[in-house]
Chains A and B, each alone.
Chain A
């Protein structure tokens, strides 16, 4: 069975500081990995995804994530955050060939001016 763990439920960070949002997963088969962002009262928007190839994935809004197979992690990073990055961030996993996503419980990023 697959599972996704986002250890940090809330992450406050000052504007222009770097941030890392952690995501660990478990699965017995190959997986695809995703990060979604949810702004208040909005739906989810895809930030980036890892399907195969280079383990460093670049997404929108300056975010990137690195797939580490040995540590079963897919941490999200941004070198310098903006106020507009305040949102809920969800890590998601899908087993190859599956038809649905399995989400973590989310990390609420709050950027402090």
Chain B
């Protein structure tokens, strides 16, 4: 069964450093998402991406964050100048479409720890 894959599974970084989280969405999907889950809290939407541009972003997704689809398969989230409060699980998801009934397939997540 096709799946969304994320690398690395766990990343530790020093405060102030830049990190890039990588995702390979399901190959025939057109819509890509990043979500964040701070430990013990709910999953929060960060950004959606379609046709090589951001289609929607939340208040959390400020200038510190950026997304890119550098080639035909990868979808990346870059976090510049990381802060302690960026420590969280980051999930990538993809879907065939954006309509309300479309299932979003999630990757296994990248646990980011900022020290």
A binds B: no
Interfacial residues, chain A to chain B (CB-CB below 8 A)? none
Interfacial residues, chain B to chain A (CB-CB below 8 A)? none
